[in-house]
Structure 1
């Protein structure tokens, strides 16, 4: 189970405890159908224009994010993994966005859960206040 055993631990700053790792392993303990998601998911990553339907969906969503005035919370990870450099600068160009930066690589919820939770709560409170709720 490469995803759980190597990808996950390699994409966070801290070391997961045995108990935490066991929670991640639990859905995939049995081979075969239990592990199908870890086979299917990578096949649906939009790489080099394939799969075309996923690329189209991602591009449509990207265009919407560029144009909509919908409030957005950008949880930036430092040092980060995928959203870095030019991609990070591009994401920062989206309108009506609040940004926080937390320590993390890719699975930032494992490195900065308290900071992320507090930022989401504050973001929602601000939106509710602006809406008079």
Structure 2
């Protein structure tokens, strides 16, 4: 199954993240692929909004590797950009998050792909220009 969405502003990207976030349940893993500046963190801000987490508190965990946000659902926000291997994700207990009671969203998931559950939701984001974003949402193997 594959769905495509287009947004034309950061606000629309946040709204799409909120819409997708509303459809997720504990244990879901969302993998965000896209170049720097593609809109990954804005999308996560929308997911946070769906769980009544202040989106102003959401920022990319580039240096901390993971941020935990508590709302109506737990949101675990990973940034694997700086990881050299999946072993580093194991060392911070990533698998416990993936199979836990919250929702995990991962930026740069290809760096830890062998650890990810097969039912993870993959979202690729393309930024053809400064405002527009194209989102392709799919489950691997479908």
Fold match by TM threshold 0.5:
no
Q: Over alpha carbons, which structure has the higher Rg?
A: 1
Q: Scaled by the length of structure 2, what TM-score is found? A: 0.28
* Greater share of residues in strand: 2
If asked which structure has higher relative contact order (CA below 8 Å, sep 6+), I would say 2
Please state which structure has a larger fraction of its residues in helix. Answer: 1
